[in-house]
Amino acid sequence: MKTVSINDITVRDIFQNIDLDTLDKKSFQSIMEGFSGLEYDSLEIMGGSSFEKMLESRLNMNPFQVTKFVKGIIPSIPLQALIGARNMTGLELYSDDIIEKFIKQSIDSGISIFRVYDSLNDLKNMEFTIGEITGNKADCQGTIIYDDHQKLDYYSDTAKKLVEMGCSSICIKDAESTMLPKKASELFKILSKEIKVPAYFSASNLRGLQTLNYFEAVTNGCSGVDLSFLPSSYNDFTSTVFSFLLSMKDTDVSYKLDYDKVVELSEIIKKYVYPNIKQDLFSTRFILNHANKNLMPKWLITNIEQQLVEIGEEESLDSVLEEVFRIKSEIGNPSLSTPVGQIIGSQAVLNSVISDYRWEILCDEIKKLIWGHFGKLPRKISKEVLGRLEALTDKENGDKKQNIEIEDTYKQCAEELESLSTKSEDILSYCISPEKTKNYLEDIRGIRPAAKIKTQKAKTAGSKSGAPDEPVSLSGLTNLDTKKLKEISNIVESSNIDEIKFELNDITISINSTKPRPVSQPAQSAGGQTPSTVGPVLKEGTVEIKSPIVGTYYASPAPGEASFVKAGDKVKKGDTLFIIEAMKLMNKVDSEYAGTIEEILVSGEDAVEFDQTIMIIKKE
């Protein structure tokens, strides 16, 4: 009788799908202890957005420390990491040196299996990473992102090449739930005949077909599957662990798990995790209307929603999700896996919400994707998109478009983080997720105090003028949504807002930031004078240049380089004025006018809001 291998992805799903404020070290330890004694073939720790989510949690550990912590509790279960070939667990492409350090640090922390994928299935991108893994005596599982436009022999041919590169097993990853049961049966029947290493299947459950797909795959040669105790469908609150185990009954396929222990672990997870699963995305119109079309991973919808929240466009979610698939089709139907999914998502926000018309503004990352920086796109790009790209690309950048270098930023990251940590694991975390790593290190060192919350009763008609307001204890506010209060506090601390006030019945609540505010630099004017008034003062013939998105302002193309423009400079229509960085994407803002820079109202790396005035131009 055949025994199917099971890779558990519950830990990854926990970090990606729950309110992280509810996960402390004690409850996390209880969950991990529940795995003890279960014969899982592997347990996935890092993968998806879980790496950076660990930094946001209350565990006060970086992802490598979390891995060590888990390994110390359940040493008998091999730990696995899902990593991009050149982007590891981040959005950017990293240098060979960073990849080498990341793999060694992961192995030292307890990872023994690496599931390696490339979002474009570009084997050239995978070669170095696979070599580093096998060179360090770890197992490498070469991963092929499922593409329903490809013929079946594509997968067997690609799998053979991955085996030649050193992979000890193969995984087919269906990130967008496009696999259908009949295709699963056919695919794994061919793979089991054509390749001499185990073939695994990792399928999302966005359509509710995961158990059926797994059944067809396993009964036709598939060696192992991914299972989680958390639901992975949009409209369902049921995990597929038990349905899959039940489907194996009365077949010639068995599993090594003790069913009673699985039930015990399920109860632990229901206690500590289920009440805190985020459910706010399960009923969007897009999802309900697309039951029989391509769907996208939940983490990507969350990512897009966060961008829309930042610019006050939450109601545009469904139209942006539609735009994601429109863009995907226009640029060759690449997988929505990291980092391609995030890049297309950001461009969809630009096309649907910020621009006056589609493809008016192209983020730098979508340009790189089309140019081939992230690998070869699977199919042709539409002429409309190529034409728009050429129109927005100046000659210098156009000549360099195929030769964008990947910088080795490890030394720079180490220098930037020196005051907080000199540990390699922290530096690597910072290379991949700088802001969240810095916040995590400041938190554990007590450098980032939480926002202060004050409450007071509002004055009544009969109260004396000038009398102090009466303080109120938070414990008396029985109707107060403390989760929302925490979210508002986080907004205050992570932005340039000093105070937020709101009323609940007759209670006024004030949330004040406790962090010191930097003294703003005076705005620069063309004559070198400091304006006497706050905010832009428009004269006749002048126009405001505003930020198209929430992000960070950069005056120059790179640190140490000259600013694009300075006050007093003459500019032509189409000249680059500044860059706004958002979600790690650098968005150039070009001038729509010919004229002279009258004032620049921000400086350094200031955080800017959507529609905030950045500079004023006097038109010719």
Over residues 175-203, the pLDDT tens digits come to 888 999 999 999 999 999 999 999 999 99
| 9 pLDDT more than 80 | yes
pLDDT score recorded for residue 206? 81
* 3-class secondary structure, 18: strand
What value does the mean pLDDT of the chain take? 84
Over residues 443-487, the pLDDT tens digits come to 888 876 555 555 554 444 444 444 444 444 444 444 555 555 555
Under 8 Å between Cβ of 141 and 97: no
pLDDT bucket at 574, cuts 50 / 70 / 90: confident
Q: Tell me the domains of the chain and their CATH numbers.
A: 2-276 (3.20.20.70), 285-400 (1.10.472.90), 451-514 (no CATH), 524-619 (2.40.50.100)
Over residues 154-181, the pLDDT tens digits come to 999 999 999 999 999 999 999 888 999 9
- Residue range 246-263: average pLDDT? 95
**Which of these, 116, 55, 110, lies nearest to 86 by C-alpha position?**
116
Please report, rounded to a whole number, the percentage of residues in the chain having pLDDT higher than 70: 79
What is this structure's pTM? 0.74
**Which of these, 413, 487, 494, lies nearest to 453 by C-alpha position?**
487
pLDDT score recorded for residue 113? 98
pLDDT bucket at 518, cuts 50 / 70 / 90: very low
Under 8 Å between Cβ of 484 and 549: no
pLDDT score recorded for residue 532? 37
DSSP letter, residue 275: G
528 vs 216, more confident = 216
Phi, psi of 3 (to 5 degrees): -110, 120
Weakest mean pLDDT among 58-72, 156-170, 212-226, 574-588: 574-588
* 3-class secondary structure, 569: coil
Q: What is the C-alpha separation between 382 and 329, in angstroms, rounded?
A: 9
Weakest mean pLDDT among 14-23, 258-267, 283-292, 528-537: 528-537
Distances (CA, A) of 498 to 289, 391, 453, 514: 42, 42, 12, 8
- Give residue 374's identity as a one-letter amino acid code: F
Under 8 Å between Cβ of 505 and 512: no
- Which residues on neighbouring strands pair with residue 202, listed in sequence order? 173
pLDDT score recorded for residue 75? 96
Pairing of strands 169-174, 199-203: parallel
441 vs 523, more confident = 441
Residue 341, CA atoms < 13 Å, CB-side half-sphere: 25
Q: What is the C-alpha separation between 141 and 129, in angstroms, rounded?
A: 11
Over residues 130-156, the pLDDT tens digits come to 999 999 999 999 999 999 999 999 999
* Strands (E) located in 99-162: 111-117, 139-145
Biggest CA-to-CA distance, the chain? 88
- Residue range 342-359: average pLDDT? 92
Under 8 Å between Cβ of 470 and 457: yes
Over residues 108-132, the pLDDT tens digits come to 999 999 999 999 999 999 999 999 9
- Residue range 11-23: average pLDDT? 90
Q: Is 108 exposed, middle or buried (0-12, 13-18, 19+ CB in 10 A)?
A: middle
Q: What is the C-alpha separation between 84 and 374, in angstroms, rounded?
A: 11
